[in-house]
Amino acid sequence: MSTTHPGNTLDALPAPEDRPGPEDRPAPDALPEQQRIRLGGVTREEVLTLAGAAGGSLGLDWLLYERILPFSGAFGFLLCWYLLFLALYAVAGRLQWDALTVRERLATALAWSSGLLVLAVIGDQIGYVLYRGLDAARHLNFFTESMRSTAALDPITSGGCLHAVVGSLEQLGMATLFSVPLGILTAVFLVESGSTRRGARLVKPVRVLVEAMTALPSIVAGLFVLGVVILTLGVEKSGFAASLALTVMMMPIVTRAAEVVVRLVPGTLKEASYALGASQWRTVWHVVLPTARPGLTTAVVLGMARGVGETSPVLLTAGFTTRLNLDAFHDNQASLPLFIWNYVKQPYPDMVARAFAGGLTLMAVVLILFVTARVLGRHRTPSERRTRRPLRATAATAATASAANKAAQVAN
C-alpha cells in the first residue's frame, strides 16, 4: 500500500493510458489564406488604367495647347502629353493600388516609354535614310561601280560607292589592327602595375593621358597626323595616314573599356595561377585575357563604332577620289563618310540620293562588322572546349545526385 505525499508531483500525473493521444488533441487554428503574389503578366485593370491615362492626357493636352494656352510646336505638345500621362497614370493608379504598387507601375511605364522612344528615334532615322536613298540603293550598279566615269547630271543607273566601301574597310581594318593591341596592352598595364607602389607612379601619367585622349576632338587627331606624319615626315595622303588618325581616336576608347573588363576578372583565378608557379605575363596571357574575352570584344566594338563614322580626320589625311584605289599606302583614298559628305551638299537630286544610299551602305557595313565581332567573341578555342567538357559532365553528375537525394528525402 503506497502512501501519497502532498508534495510528490509524480503521483499526480495521469497514467499513460489515460493521457490524450494525438488524435484527441484540439486542432490548431487554420492559417489565414495567403494571397498569391503575381510576378508577371498584365491584368485588364492595368491595361484600362494605362489606356485611360493616355487618352485623358491627350485630350487635356490638346485642350491646353489649342484652346487655353498660347503654345505651339510638335515637340512641346508631345512633351506635355508625356508629363500629363505620367501624372494621370499615377493618380488613377493610386485610386486602386497601394503606394508601393503605384511606384512600381510608374517605374515600369517610364522604362517602357523610354525604350520605345529610343526605338522610335532609331526607326525614324533609318526610315528617313531609306526613303531618301532607296532610289539609288535599289540599283545593283551602286554597289559594283565607282564614281570615276559619272558626272553630276548622269542618271542614277551610273556610278556607285564601291571605291568608298573598299576604302572604309581598309582604313578601319588597319586602325583596328593598330589600336586594339595597344589599347589592351595599356589596359593590362594600368590594372596589373597599379597594384604595386612602384608601378602606381607610372600608371598615373598614363591614365591622365588616356583620359585626355578620350575627350580629344576628332579634327585635332586629323590635324596631328597631318602636321606630324604628312607635312613633317613626308608621307602622302593615303588610307594609311587616315588609319593613323582613326587609331588616335579608337585607342583611348578601347583602353578605357578593356580596363574595366580586366578589373572584373576574379582575383582568385590569378592567385591560383601564381600558386601553380606561373609568372605574371603567363597569368595575364592564359588566365586574365581568356576570361575577359567577351568584354574585350565589346571594347573592340566600341572602338570600331567610334572610328567608322569619322569624317574630319579622314578628310585631312586621306583626301578624296572618285576612282577605286586598293593600295592604302599610296594616293588618295575615299571612304563612306567622305562619300556621304561630298555628295549630300550638292544641289543635284541624284547626287543627294547617292549620298543617302551611301548612308544605308555604311549602316549595313557597321551591322556586319558588329555581328562578326560578337560571333568571334563567343567562339571558344579547342583548349577551352576540352576544359569545359569535364566541367559540364561534373555539373550534370552533381545535379543528378542532388535530384536523387531530394527524391529520397521526399519518399522518406
Grid coordinates standing for 320?
578624296
CATH 3.50.50.60: does it fit domain 162-379?
no
Diameter of the chain by CA atoms? 134
Q: Answer whether 208's CB lies under 8 Å from 255's CB.
A: no
CATH 1.10.3720.10 residue ranges for the chain: 162-379
In this prediction, residues 39-55 reach a mean pLDDT of 82
What pLDDT does residue 197 have?
Answer: 66
Residue 47 Cα distances to 51, 78, 96, 291, angstroms: 6, 21, 13, 45
Q: Which of 181, 163, 160, 161 is nearest to 171 (CA)?
A: 163
User: Cα–Cα distance between 226 and 154 in angstroms, integer?
Assistant: 35
Confidence of residue 331 (pLDDT cuts 50, 70, 90): confident
Torsion angle, CA of 215/218/219/223, rounded to 10 degrees? 90
- Asked if 64 and 80 touch (Cβ cutoff 8 Å), the reply is yes
Quick check: 225 and 247 in contact, CB under 8 A? no
Phi, psi at residue 330, to the nearest 5°? -140, 140
Task: Say yes or no to pLDDT of 147 above 70.
Answer: yes
pLDDT at 391: 43
**Cell 543627294, residue?**
352
How many other C-beta atoms can be found within 10 angstroms of the C-beta atom of residue 33? 6
**Dist. CA 377–CA 365, nearest whole Å:** 18
| Cell 588597319, residue located | 174
- Residue 128: the pLDDT is 93
What is the pLDDT, as a whole number, of residue 119? 92
Does 266 score more than 50 pLDDT?
A: yes
Can you tell me the distance from the alpha carbon of 194 to that of 212, in angstroms, rounded to the nearest whole number? 19
Residue length, the chain?
412
Rounded Cα–Cα distance for residues 57 and 64 (Å): 10
Question: Which percentage of the chain shows pLDDT scores above 70?
Answer: 80
Top pLDDT among 197 and 163 is at 163
In angstroms, how far is CA 399 from the centroid of its own chain?
33
* Helices 99-137 and 74-94, axial angle in degrees (round to 10): 150
Torsion angle of the four alpha carbons 229, 234, 237, 238, in this order, in degrees rounded to the nearest 10 = -80
Q: Indicate the Cα dihedral angle 389, 391, 396, 398, nearest 10°.
A: 160
The percentage of the chain sitting over the pLDDT mark of 90, rounded to a whole number, equals 23
Task: Compute how many other C-beta atoms are within 10 angstroms of the C-beta atom of residue 298.
Answer: 17
* Confidence at residue 2, expressed as pLDDT on a 0 to 100 scale: 47
CA angle 399, 403, 406 (to 5 degrees): 140
Say what the pLDDT of residue 9 is.
Answer: 46
Q: Write down the pLDDT at residue 216.
A: 85
Structure-block grid coordinates of residue 58: 491627350
Q: Which residue has the cell 522604362?
A: 111
The single-letter DSSP state of residue 27 is P
Q: Report residue 107 as a C-alpha cell.
A: 517605374
| Mean pLDDT across the chain | 81
pLDDT in tens, 97-137: 888 888 988 998 999 989 998 999 899 999 999 999 888 88
- pLDDT on residue 340: 92
User: Whose grid coordinates read 568571334?
Assistant: 376
**Radius of gyration for the alpha carbons in the chain, expressed in angstroms and rounded:** 35
Q: How far is CA 53 from CA 86, 91, 112, in A?
A: 8, 9, 15
Is the model's pLDDT at 190 over the cut of 70? yes
Element (H, E) at 93: helix 74-94
Residue 29 has pLDDT above 80, yes or no: no
- From 23-32, 196-205, 368-377, the region with the lowest mean pLDDT: 23-32
Amino acid at the residue 317? T
Does residue 86 have a pLDDT over 80? yes
Q: What is the DSSP string of 118-183?
A: HHHHHHHHHHHHHHHHHHHHTSTHHHH--STT--TTS-TTS--SHHHHHHHHHHHHHHHHHHHHHH
Q: For residue range 274-330, list pLDDT tens digits in order.
A: 888 888 888 888 888 888 888 888 888 888 888 888 888 898 898 888 898 888 898
- The amino acid sitting at 35 is Q
